[in-house]
Chain A
Amino acid sequence: MLDKLNEIEKSALESLRSVTDSAALESWRVSHLGRSSALMTVFAGLGKLSKEERPAVGSGANRVKVALESALEERSKLVKSAALAKSLEEDALDVTLPGRGVHVGRLHPSTQQLRKVMSILADMGFQIYTSREVETDEYNFQLLNFPPNHPARDMQDTFFVEAEGRGDNPILLRTHTSPGQIHAMREYSAMNPDNPPPIRIALPGMCFRYEQITARSEIQFNQVEGLVVGENITFADLKGTLADFARRMFGQHARVRFRASYFPFTEPSAEVDVECFVCGGKGCGVCKNSGWLEILGCGMVHPVVLQNGGYDPARYSGFAWGMGPERQLMLRYKIDDIRYFWGNDLRFLEQF
């Protein structure tokens, strides 16, 4: 009898070895541990055995049952993990197929750059001041110390608007955001004409120059100007403020270089070169190997401009600077054709 049990165990374990899926596992269980299995038949026949035989056969049968059950459990784990492995393998994706697209909205790169500039200026206490795009000669030029027929006007070729009877004060498209300097100063000084408050503003907006549209010149472009007016504002402050701004704008280690220059509405005036942010000043194609990028013009507000804004130049001083977000983008992104900006080709815009 015990031999028979050993035989049952041996053949059951042997057949279990060929079981590979859950259905076969179940049918193995039925045939080797089920009610009509040989083992169960042994259990059922225990009563018919002699008193002497019964304990040994009983415990032998139990041992075989436990052995088969644990073998089944082990096998079952094996089968399950094999099945999982198989299904994982079968479900594998081609990870190189492209992801599904989403319609995404974006700001125009100029807006993005303007925001970058203005958020830095906001941190530095500058408030945004906006003004009109179509201006008078008076605000665009005369009050900014460009007298009629002054050679400085050659620096800013101008679009004029058809209008009659305006004499020396034609209507034009603003050539810079600087008319806003006068508007702002007059607004601020009107608050308290005897003691006008200090000013610290940023003037963003679209400007226009009479140019042919080419890869390098455009008829419209954005400008951001900064204007500070107050008591005790010095050229050294201008240098310090722009150096601070440049570090925020172009990188913590950006250095600036001030070159003397000329703008009718500032004096002393300067052009500011920033150490090339593409190569870090080592020399590259963007900076034409010079290590410097000409990035903004600045200067102390001209006394005539202060006066025209309602600020006494004997008491107040100030500085202003201007820069072009499109130029910054062109340098940063190595854009070699300025016409991309107003061309609005989605293939360009979607890269920002």
Chain B
Amino acid sequence: MKIPISWLKDYIDLDGLSVEDIARKLTLAGLEVDEIKYAGLAMPEYKDGEKHEFKTSGIAWDKEKLVVAEIREVKAHPNADRLTLLDLFDGKESQTVLTGAPNIFHLKGTGKLDKPIKAAYAKEGTTLYDGHAEGLQLMTLKRTKIRGVESYSMVCSEKELGISEEHEGIILFDDDAPVGMSLANYMGDAVLDISIVPNMARNANVIGIARELAALTGRELKRPTMDNGRRTKKSGQSSAVNGQSVTELVEIEITNPELNPRFVAGLIRDIEIKPSPYHIQRRLRLAGMRPISNIVDATNYAMLDIGQPLHAFDYDVLVSRVGQIANLSHKIKIITRAAKDGEKLTTLDGKERVLTSENVLVCDESGPLAMAGVMGGAESEVTDKTRTILLEGAAWNFINIRKTAKQHNLPSEASFRFSRGVHPAMAEQGVKRGLQLMAEWSGGQIAPDLVDVYPLKPKDPTITVTTKDVKRLLGIDLTAKQIAELLTRLEFECKVEKDSVKAKTPPHRLDIGEGAVGLADVLEEVARVYGYDRIPETRMSDSLPPQVGNPQHEWEEHARDILVILGLQEVVSYRMTSPERESRLVSFDEYVALANPIAPERRVMRRSLLASLLENVEKNARAESISMFEIGSVFEPNKNDLPNEPRKLAIAMTGLRTQTAWDVKDSASFDFYDMKGRLELLLSGLRLSGISYTPTDSSSLSAGFLHPGKSAEVKINGQSVGAFGELHPLVKEKYDFEDSPVIVAEFDLDTLRNATPTYGIAPVSEFPPVLEDIAVIVDESVTAEKVEGLIKQTGGKTVTRVRLFDVYRDEKIGAGKKSLAYNLTYQSEKTMTDAEAAAIRTKIVKRLEHEVGAKLRG
């Protein structure tokens, strides 16, 4: 919402407040000023590195060099057909000014003007925007010769003065512009661009902002006088009210008050369609709207002024539609109703709209006239020939307007306001204001009275606020009188009774609820007007809640720490993917699918965390070495119910095991055992035991993407918790990976987390251990796990450590055989002798010979 300061000043005295002061007050009170655009007023000067509070743009006008001047004659240029020479008076002296402005060109050579034209005159040395440049480029007026005629000054367009983009012609002021007055004093302005949050919809207008400022500063709000027939504010002329009353000409039928709580209509005759006064056009442009004609501008101006969108119908079209051009035998009947599905209306943008029952229509007896609150129909639109206006001011159900504006992609200033709710009381004020402005700008005659059908009045709740409530919820001590004073500034009608205030909601806002909600609504207003900055900072006095912790979160954070210690980089992926992307790794029939995805490749929620992780590996494939993990949810569909969100851990490793350096050239690639080593450390870090590694079951999900011979399933006490191994060569092919194998792991964290941890440590003996190596030759079919198990079983408590340090195959050992070499550590409760160790060793070797046919290797 763009608010020109000059407009605000119509309703509140802002003396002594800078534009920044005003912007700051509004911003702190919840009307955030996003930008201040200067169009003439003095700008604060910021030096480099100096703090400025607001984003600022625009220019200030030089008070000496830019003045109101009058053009007395438009003469031909001796050497250029398209240019003219102006005989201009700047209040002090006459000037000759060169211009190519098309909007005074027709006066060329007509001699001395009967009525001089008022224009914005820039003297030599003025800095303003270059009207011919793309965008906003500053330039300074210099003395020069154009086609043999000296030029040192100019008459300006709006673009040159930073008012708007308009550069079609020069500004032509209203007749009452005072010649010689500094332009900055005449119409210097600044525009506040304010974000309107949903519960501030009432303030999407100049009076709303002025009312807030009045409340925040304690100043008086000056309201426009809006009674028809009274003296109008600016011109002081009386806008004539006469002729037949509108109530004799028009009647209104509201079929559903829920959709249309109020409909007010007024009528104005004998209007002349022409441009609005210049100062009105300028205000509209500064407020971000395009001036069209005095009538359309009046509806827009009234909307920006008090917040009520209006719609002007060409009354004569309505009359002709019902076939009663003369001698109306009965009234024109305006009917509001929900549209029928499939019903059509051509809106004033020329588009034929196919409507649904969500849309609301303003109709007459022959059919639809306008899409209520969103856009008028083409047929009854105001044209240059329009002589009589039927002006609508209505209240509409904000939900229907929201749906309609969205459905037909018609965001507008009107639908913005209606879709956030406009109080029905504003309908009457809006029509009065609109008619008044139309009369003022078009010379029309306002018909007496208004047609006003108001079947559904809003509650305007009365809320009781006590000093205790204020203390309990805001933490400040205010007297009832103080509370009432703050609320009265926002036009609540307050009654003080001892320690409580009964505050009646003023009839321009719909954001105050009832009961506990209303209390919160009103307390927010108390806090806002009192000033958030004046509320003290205190520490909570309430007791601490029961401490319950979050074991799952804590456990996962612990797992993350271990994985990081193991040299793995954590990543976080998009939850959204596509079945195609995941199917490179694994295929699922069903997904949690989005109804409104941003793109086909992000249309479902992931089911495989590993698939996401591999995409990250792929993106980083050129890195020398990659070790990554992610912990997160996957999404298992559950028909039309909420999905399951099991937690997963995925790990991927590929590339060099050791970082190369200038003197470390060769490094082997990560393989199965690098991953296994890390998993062993992870699981022991999580204090899990009873772990076994078995070849992957070909029926398991992971068997589909793992190398059948280089993969394993991880079980804890027989229960599968995950699988890992080298990516199957055929799966690897589908990715853009480098040559080295890609080793992956995926764990079901919920199962892992629910495994019972075991605590306790192995004692550290103070007696020296006996260390010994043994190597045994066994058949290939005998697993290392089996041999190690037998050694541990036989050695019992004495053998405290068994470490496989070599696996060796050779012809001398024999085909189908391998040698497994172990370091054994013998340890007892006293210093152990070699002989004692040898005795155990003999037992171990015998056991191995007996059970797996092992032979001791020389």
- Chain B binds chain A: yes
What is the interface residue range for chain B against chain A?
A: 35 or more
CA distance A286 to B625 in the complex (A): 35
* Chain A residues whose CB sits within 8 angstroms of the CB of B528 once the complex forms: 260, 268
A43 shortest CB reach to chain B, Å: 55
CA distance A159 to B596 in the complex (A): 6
| Partner among B54, B549, B594, B623 whose Cβ is within 8 Å of the Cβ of A160 | B594
Whether A302 contacts B520 by the Cβ 8 Å rule is: yes
Using an 8 Å CB-CB cutoff, how does the interface string of A198-230 with B read, 1 for contact, 0 for none? Answer: 111000001010111100000110000000101
Q: A104-B567, A236-B475, A282-B51 are in contact. Are A244 and B30 (CB under 8 A)?
A: no
* Chain B residues whose CB sits within 8 angstroms of the CB of A228 once the complex forms: 540, 542
- Is A240 engaged at the interface, CB distance under 8 Å to the other chain? yes
- Is B550 engaged at the interface, CB distance under 8 Å to the other chain? yes
| Partner among A98, A166, A259, A349 whose Cβ is within 8 Å of the Cβ of B27 | A259
CA distance A240 to B532 in the complex (A): 12
- Is B414 engaged at the interface, CB distance under 8 Å to the other chain? no
Q: A210-B596, A233-B542, A269-B524 are in contact. Are A152 and B198 (CB under 8 A)?
A: yes
Whether B539 contacts A290 by the Cβ 8 Å rule is: no
Whether B594 contacts A162 by the Cβ 8 Å rule is: yes
Whether A162 contacts B642 by the Cβ 8 Å rule is: no
| Partner among B398, B517, B550, B575 whose Cβ is within 8 Å of the Cβ of A206 | B575
Q: A111-B560, A289-B46 are in contact. Are A259 and B661 (CB under 8 A)?
A: no
CA distance A282 to B48 in the complex (A): 11
Whether A111 contacts B570 by the Cβ 8 Å rule is: yes
* Chain A residues whose CB sits within 8 angstroms of the CB of B645 once the complex forms: 132-134
A49 shortest CB reach to chain B, Å: 65
Whether A268 contacts B572 by the Cβ 8 Å rule is: no
Most A Cβ at <10 Å: residue of B399, B520, B552, B640:
B520
Most B Cβ at <10 Å: residue of A134, A264, A288, A349:
A134
Q: A108-B572, A161-B592, A171-B642 are in contact. Are A212 and B598 (CB under 8 A)?
A: yes
CA distance A40 to B633 in the complex (A): 93
CA distance A132 to B633 in the complex (A): 9
Whether A260 contacts B642 by the Cβ 8 Å rule is: no
* Chain A residues whose CB sits within 8 angstroms of the CB of B602 once the complex forms: 219
Using an 8 Å CB-CB cutoff, how does the interface string of A109-138 with B read, 1 for contact, 0 for none? Answer: 011000100000000010111101111100
Closest B residue to A132 using CB positions:
B645
- Is B149 engaged at the interface, CB distance under 8 Å to the other chain? no
| Partner among B53, B547, B560 whose Cβ is within 8 Å of the Cβ of A290 | B53
* Chain A residues whose CB sits within 8 angstroms of the CB of B595 once the complex forms: 159-162, 170
Whether B523 contacts A268 by the Cβ 8 Å rule is: yes
CA distance A243 to B560 in the complex (A): 31
- Is B538 engaged at the interface, CB distance under 8 Å to the other chain? yes
CA distance A132 to B548 in the complex (A): 19
What is the interface residue range for chain A against chain B?
A: 35 or more
Whether B475 contacts A257 by the Cβ 8 Å rule is: no
Whether A151 contacts B201 by the Cβ 8 Å rule is: yes
* Chain A residues whose CB sits within 8 angstroms of the CB of B536 once the complex forms: 236, 239-240
* Chain B residues whose CB sits within 8 angstroms of the CB of A163 once the complex forms: 639-641
Most B Cβ at <10 Å: residue of A162, A213, A239, A307:
A162
CA distance A49 to B54 in the complex (A): 114
Within 8 A of B (CB), among A337-352: 341-346, 349-350
Whether B403 contacts A291 by the Cβ 8 Å rule is: no
| Partner among B55, B197, B537, B635 whose Cβ is within 8 Å of the Cβ of A240 | B537
Closest A residue to B617 using CB positions:
A344
CA distance A313 to B469 in the complex (A): 11
Q: A164-B640, A289-B52 are in contact. Are A106 and B473 (CB under 8 A)?
A: no
Whether B594 contacts A149 by the Cβ 8 Å rule is: no
Whether A235 contacts B540 by the Cβ 8 Å rule is: no
- Is B839 engaged at the interface, CB distance under 8 Å to the other chain? no
* Chain B residues whose CB sits within 8 angstroms of the CB of A103 once the complex forms: 567, 625, 627, 658-659
- Is B452 engaged at the interface, CB distance under 8 Å to the other chain? no
- Is A62 engaged at the interface, CB distance under 8 Å to the other chain? no
Whether B527 contacts A235 by the Cβ 8 Å rule is: yes
Whether B594 contacts A101 by the Cβ 8 Å rule is: no
CA distance A291 to B49 in the complex (A): 10
* Chain B residues whose CB sits within 8 angstroms of the CB of A95 once the complex forms: none
Closest B residue to A199 using CB positions:
B545
* Chain B residues whose CB sits within 8 angstroms of the CB of A282 once the complex forms: 49, 51
CA distance A115 to B540 in the complex (A): 24
| Partner among B566, B576, B661 whose Cβ is within 8 Å of the Cβ of A98 | B661
Whether A317 contacts B51 by the Cβ 8 Å rule is: no
A296 shortest CB reach to chain B, Å: 14
Footprint of B on A, CB under 8 Å? 97-98, 100-108, 110-111, 115, 125, 127-130, 132-136, 149-152, 154-155, 159-166, 170-171, 173, 188, 191, 197-200, 206, 208, 210-213, 219-220, 228, 230-237, 239-241, 243-244, 257-262, 264, 267-271, 281-284, 288-291, 300, 302-304, 307, 313-314, 317, 341-346, 349-350
Query: Besides A300-B520, A349-B571, 17 other CB < 8 A contacts?
Result: A103-B627, A107-B564, A130-B552, A152-B198, A159-B594, A163-B640, A170-B595, A191-B546, A228-B540, A240-B539, A259-B532, A260-B29, A264-B198, A267-B521, A291-B53, A303-B520, A313-B520
Considering the complex of A and B, which 5 residue pairs feature the smallest CB-CB distances, nearest first? Answer: A236-B475, A234-B475, A260-B30, A101-B659, A230-B542
- A-B CB contact pairs (8 Å), 13 listed: A98-B662, A103-B627, A111-B572, A127-B549, A151-B398, A165-B640, A198-B545, A232-B542, A234-B472, A235-B474, A235-B535, A267-B521, A303-B516
